[in-house]
Every structure is written in structure tokens, then in C-alpha cells.
Amino acid sequence: MIDEIGKGSQASALYDVTSKLAKAGVGMETRRKLVGVSKDEVYLQNTFNNEKIVKEADYIVLALGISPKRDQLITDLENEFENVIVIGDSQKAGNVREAVKAGFDRAYTLA
């Protein structure tokens, strides 16, 4: 799990959002696994040391990072076609700018 919020995000946009959330008293957790939820508590597990954590909460918002995943479709395509180019989050998790650049770079090599 990622240990920082907004990794790879534009710094000014990240600061704008996180500072507003902090000012509103919103807690932000990293390296946590959601284990359970009750009426007014959330049960977490620290993914680094497996410590169990209980926090009071009125609302819960999950913002989950993603990892690149090469699924069966890509494998099937690579088995059937000689020239398969995998880009975007199927190759490496990233942001929109990185995905557009990867698409442009790969398309440019086809010309």
C-alpha cells in the first residue's frame, strides 16, 4: 500500500484539497486496511506492523490506490498477435498526464 497521500499528483492541487480536508477536521490514513465498520467506529489494521486500530467516525470515505494488473485479456492478445502494446495502468499505475504521454509515445513509434 502507498504510504503517502496523492503520490504523483500535482503539488498545488494536492495541497489545496488536503489543506481543506484538514481544516474541516477530516482524518486521513495511509497504510491501513479496512477490517470493519460499526455504527460509530471504524476498525483498521496497520499494514506495516499489523497493529489493530479503532477510530470513531461519522462517515468513511475510501480512496484506494491501484496497482497495475495484467489481466487475461492482455495475455490472450499477446498469445494471438505479434505486436501488442500495453499502455496506461495496464503497464504501470499513474496519472492522466502519464497515460496520455505513454499513448502518444507508443503511437509515434508505429508511424
Which residues, 6 or more positions from 70, have their beta carbon under 8 angstroms from its beta carbon?
Answer: 86, 90
Separation between Cα atoms, residue 52 and residue 46, nearest integer Å: 6
Q: Could you count the other beta carbons within 10 Å of the beta carbon of residue 42?
A: 19
Question: What band does 36 get if pLDDT is binned at 50, 70 and 90?
Answer: very high
Q: How far apart are CA 74 and CA 105, in angstroms?
A: 20
The pTM of this model reads 0.57
pLDDT of residue 53: 96
- pLDDT (average), residues 69-94: 80
With cut-offs at 50, 70 and 90, classify the pLDDT of residue 2.
Answer: low
Domain layout of the chain by residue ranges: 11-56, 72-110
Q: What is the mean pLDDT of residues 2-7?
A: 77
Beta strands in the chain (DSSP E): 32-37, 41-46, 52-56
Compute the distance between CA of residue 57 and CA of residue 59 in angstroms, rounded to an integer.
6
pLDDT band at 65 (very low <50, low <70, confident <90, very high): low
